Amino acid sequence: MTSIYLASTSPQRRALLTQLGITFKVIAPQIREEHHSEASAPTITHLVRRNALKKAQEVARRLTEGLVIGGDTLVVTNRGKMLGKAKTSEEALVMLRLLSGTWHRVLSAVALVDAKTSTHKVAHASTIVFFRKVSDATLQKYVKTQEPLEKAGAYAIQGKGGFLVEKINGSYSAVVGLPLELVAELLDEFGIPLWNCWNKEESSRV
C-alpha cells in the first residue's frame, strides 16, 4: 500500500482526510505561502494552485517514497480583494466586515506529488459563499472567540462561523480547506482508488 503524507498542519485538513478514511502521516511544509492583496481571477487561481504544489513538493523532497498531498485556500471578495489568513483580531474584524451581507469566492487547491518520481497533479475548486448581514457587535463577539484567527477569510464554516453562512454554491469541503472530491479524483489518476486507502488504522503525526 502506498504511504500517504499530508503536507499541512491544518487541523481542518487533517479532519477532512480522516473523514475520507485515509490513513496518512503529517509532515509540516517548510515554505512561505505567496499571497497578494489584489489580483485578477486567473492570477489568483494560479497562485492557490502553486501554493498547494509547493507545499507538497517541499515535503516530497524529504521522502524517498509515498504520495504527498498539499493544499491551499484563498478567499476573494466580490470586489476582487484577496483575503488570506487573519493574523490578528483587528485583521479578522476588517475581513468579516468586508464579507458581511454579500458573497465571496473560496478557491481551494489540492496537489498530489509522488515522492519517488516527482510526478505531480494539481486541481482546484471554486465555491461561492453567501454571508447574511449581521451587526458589527455580533462580528466583534465572534472575533473574541478567537476562532477567526489563522482562517482564510477569518471564519470557519465548520465551526461557530457557520452562523454567518446563508448558502453556498459549490464544494463545502473546499470551504473548510480541502476539496475531498478532488482528492479522490487525483488519487484515481495516480492509480489509487479511494477504497484502497480505507482501513482501521488511525492517522498519525510525524
Which of the residues are catalytic? 72
Report in angstroms the alpha-carbon separations of 138 from 67, 141, 178: 43, 5, 28
Residue 102 DSSP label: S
Q: Give the integer Cα–Cα distance in Å for 39 and 188.
A: 33
Instruction: Count other Cβ atoms within 10 Å, centred on residue 193.
Output: 11
Instruction: Count other Cβ atoms within 10 Å, centred on residue 48.
Output: 29
State which amino acid sits at residue 195: W
Beta pairing class for 4-6 and 25-26: parallel
In our burial notation (b when 16+ CB lie closer than 10 A, e otherwise), range 94-114 reads: ebbebbbeeebbbbbbbbbbb
Q: Give the integer Cα–Cα distance in Å for 74 and 80.
A: 12
Instruction: Name 205's bridge partners.
Output: 26
| Grid cell for residue 164 | 454567518
